Amino acid sequence: MSTVHSTHGVAMRLNEADLIDERLAELMVNGYTILDSGMPDAALVDLRARLDSVYSAQCVEMDGEDVLRSMHDTDVARCVVAYDAAFLQLATNNNLMQLARRLFGSDFILMQQNGILNRPDRDNYQAKWHRDLSYQHWVSTKPLAINALFCVDEFTNDNGATFVLPATHHVEAFPTNAFVSKFELQLTAPAGSYLILDAMLFHRAGINRSASVRRAVNHLIGLPFMAQQIDIPRAIASAQKIDVVDETTRKYLGYRWSPAADAVEWRRRRLPK
């Protein structure tokens, strides 16, 4: 049981009803937390093979990995939900959706879902400090988006677990070199967990010094006034791999929020079901 801390002059406190509330408190104050998915080990073994397969297919689509290397896009499998229904289950995990609903309310959108392969024998472009809302130097009083980095493999110090700069989602500018050296923190996490970051938190991948690939799937989830990196509904329709019928899931994937072609379509979307 946690200690009850007395206060003076405090009129507002964060909720603490359950584990999701505790994770939200860590996320809102520190800018990061770790959330268990509840996924069994057997499913993780299957996901590793599926992610490798999607990346191989995307290399073929671009006429070889050298083309991806020329644009600094090697070892990234983009919009994986359009290639395999298993990644839709990953994006709609119950624990992840509970956290997102409490953080954002009823309306939020999957802006990206990219697989990441951190190999021990290659340079990693993600090892540079960045925000996932890139090039933005301002802060908001409420979260606009989160990264939900699913650990397909265990994140360890040796295999390049993610580094964060705690609380930098509260400050517009990137901090000083001395600050980074003093306060950077590497986050180890078990396979099957989500590393959740405020999307304005500065972070970077570590260098993989192990003998094995470290796989992850990153979800960028945010408020629906922001655009998706890839038009996910269109990508799903083009691939014809899955059929999304649940209305809540369709809204989350962007079907509800894509621009209407004209006034008639805009109104028809709002007709009672």
Assigned token pair, 30: 């520190």
Q: Does the global pTM surpass 0.75?
A: yes
Q: Please tell me the predicted confidence (pLDDT) of residue 193.
A: 98
The helices-and-strands tally (H runs, E runs) of the chain is 9, 9
Cα dihedral across residues 86, 88, 94, 97: positive or negative: positive
pLDDT in tens, 11-45: 999 999 999 999 999 999 999 999 999 999 999 99
Name the pLDDT band for 47 (thresholds 50, 70, 90).
Answer: very high
Name the pLDDT band for 243 (thresholds 50, 70, 90).
Answer: confident
Query: Is the model's pLDDT at 137 over the cut of 80?
Result: yes
Domain boundaries, the chain: 19-268
Write down the residue that tokens 């990508």 correspond to.
Answer: 235
Query: Is 250 within 8 Å of 244 (Cβ atoms)?
Result: yes
Q: Please tell me the predicted confidence (pLDDT) of residue 3.
A: 85
CB burial of 47-68 (b: ≥16 within 10 Å; e: otherwise) equals beebbbebbeebbeeeeebeeb
Q: Please tell me the predicted confidence (pLDDT) of residue 267.
A: 81
Q: How far apart are CA 194 and CA 155, in angstroms?
A: 11
pLDDT in tens, 140-163: 999 999 999 999 999 999 999 999
Higher pLDDT pick, 266 / 235: 235
Query: Is the model's pLDDT at 174 over the cut of 90?
Result: yes
pLDDT, average across residues 230-254: 89
Q: What average pLDDT is seen over the chain?
A: 93
Query: Is 102 within 8 Å of 20 (Cβ atoms)?
Result: yes
pLDDT in tens, 55-107: 999 999 999 999 998 988 899 999 999 999 999 999 999 999 999 999 999 99
pLDDT in tens, 200-227: 999 999 999 999 999 999 999 999 999 9
Tell how strand 203-204 and strand 193-198 pair up: unpaired
Which three-class secondary structure state does DSSP give residue 57?
helix
Query: Is 130 within 8 Å of 220 (Cβ atoms)?
Result: no
Q: How far apart are CA 28 and CA 141, in angstroms?
A: 10
Higher pLDDT pick, 113 / 273: 113
- Rg (C-alpha) for the chain, rounded Å, is 19
Which range is least confidently modeled, 73-82, 189-198, 259-268? 259-268
Q: Please tell me the predicted confidence (pLDDT) of residue 2.
A: 72
* CATH class assigned to 19-268: mainly beta
Query: Is the model's pLDDT at 1 over the cut of 70?
Result: no
